[in-house]
């Protein structure tokens, strides 16, 4: 079974007080049945990880970070290692978010190295991939997706994907209010699963593939009803506890309706 995962990517938002309030509200508002059916993850800015940890230690919420750097320790001013993230209670880390790829010029090879660093630190990497509007208009979506996934498989090896999660986030849908249609997203998710299948048939049926890009309470259930969409990576809507919880509830209703997605 693929347990749906709902992840809140806070990006560079909020203050210490707001972080506290947000985690507390999510923690309090998360209904028990929802928490049993799905996994709920929050990804605060580094400096609020410990703050968040205080509130989630005895809750079903899981903690993760938005990025890491290579290695365990070293002279890398401004960077945080996977080992440090584990040390403060993280279980997940985003790798290759489109904002890292574009604003910070992260190359395919750096993304692959970071993926390895995450797995080696015993973190679960969420590998983010997605095409730009221009690439989509030029019918290059599949080529871009294949390149972003295969470049990591080639360097890291498919074995390192055993626990990994993939997040399909069309760049044109991130923070724009425009969402891929459920069928559109499903087609790309099926394509991604097929790439994994070519490398490891069993893994293709267990790996979780999330959709990200303007997911909101209004569109979450429709997206999540698609057979290859196993959860969401939520940006803007994760900063509002009510909206984030509504998405979690939509997913858990969906999960209940389809009795969770079965293997094979
Ligand atoms: P969004 O961001 O939900 O605000 O579109 C998603 C993401 O960047 O992970």
For residue 32, pLDDT beyond 90: no
For residue 263, pLDDT beyond 50: no
- Average pLDDT over the chain reads 94
Distance 8 CA to ligand 1 centre (A): 9
Candidate of 236, 243, 246 to mutate for ligand 1, largest count of ligand atoms within 8 Å of Cβ: 236
Which tokens in the block code for residue 213?
């890009």
Ligand 1 neighbours by CB, cut-off 6 Å: 9, 169, 174-175, 212-215, 233-237
For residue 36, pLDDT beyond 90: no
If pLDDT is split at 50, 70 and 90, which confidence band does 260 have? very low
Low-confidence winner among 73-87, 130-144, 217-231, 241-255 (lowest mean pLDDT): 241-255
Using a pLDDT cut of 70, give the percent of the chain over it: 96
Residue-level pLDDT at 259: 41
Residue-level pLDDT at 35: 76
Report how far residue 156's alpha carbon sits from residue 145's, in angstroms, rounded to the nearest whole number: 17
Q: Which atom of ligand 1 is nearest to the CA of 99?
A: 8
Distance 168 CA to ligand 1 centre (A): 11
pLDDT mean over 212-223: 96
For residue 90, pLDDT beyond 60: yes
For residue 256, pLDDT beyond 80: no
Please check whether residue 113 is in contact with residue 155, taking contact to mean a CB–CB distance below 8 angstroms.
yes
Classified as helix, coil or strand, 107 is coil
Tokens 């095409």, located at residue:
131
For residue 262, pLDDT beyond 50: no
Residues annotated as catalytic are: 97, 169
Distance 214 CA to ligand 1 centre (A): 6
For residue 257, pLDDT beyond 80: no
CA-proximal residue: ligand 1, atom 3 (nearest): 235
pLDDT digits (tens, 9 = 90+) for 54-84: 988 878 899 999 999 999 999 999 999 999 9
For residue 21, pLDDT beyond 70: yes
Report how far residue 61's alpha carbon sits from residue 102's, in angstroms, rounded to the nearest whole number: 30
Classified as helix, coil or strand, 247 is helix
């Amino acid at each position: 079974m693929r347990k749906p995962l709902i992840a809140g990517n806070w990006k560079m938002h909020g203050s210490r007080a707001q972080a506290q309030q947000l985690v507390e509200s999510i923690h309090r508002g998360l209904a028990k049945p929802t928490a049993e059916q799905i996994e709920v993850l929050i990804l605060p800015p580094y400096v609020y990880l410990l703050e968040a940890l205080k509130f989630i230690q005895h809750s079903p919420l899981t903690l993760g970070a938005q990025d890491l750097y290579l290695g365990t320790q070293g002279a890398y001013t401004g960077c945080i290692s996977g080992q440090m993230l584990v040390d403060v209670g993280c279980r997940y880390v985003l790798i290759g978010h489109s904002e890292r790829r574009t604003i910070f010029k992260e190359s395919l090879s750096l993304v692959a190295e970071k993926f390895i660093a995450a797995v080696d630190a015993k973190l679960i990497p969420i590998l983010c991939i997605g095409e730009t509007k221009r690439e989509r208009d030029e019918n290059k979506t599949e080529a871009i997706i294949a390149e972003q996934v295969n470049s990591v498989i080639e360097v890291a090896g498919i074995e390192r994907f055993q626990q990994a999660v993939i997040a399909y986030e069309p760049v044109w849908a991130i923070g724009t209010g425009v969402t891929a249609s459920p069928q559109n997203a499903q087609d790309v998710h099926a394509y991604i699963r097929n790439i994994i299948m070519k490398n490891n048939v069993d893994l293709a049926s267990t790996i979780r593939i999330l959709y990200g890009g303007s997911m909101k309470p209004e569109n979450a259930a429709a997206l999540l009803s698609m057979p290859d969409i196993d959860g969401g990576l939520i940006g803007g809507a994760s900063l509002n506890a009510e909206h984030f919880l509504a998405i979690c509830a939509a997913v858990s209703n969906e999960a209940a309706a389809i009795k969770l997605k079965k293997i094979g």
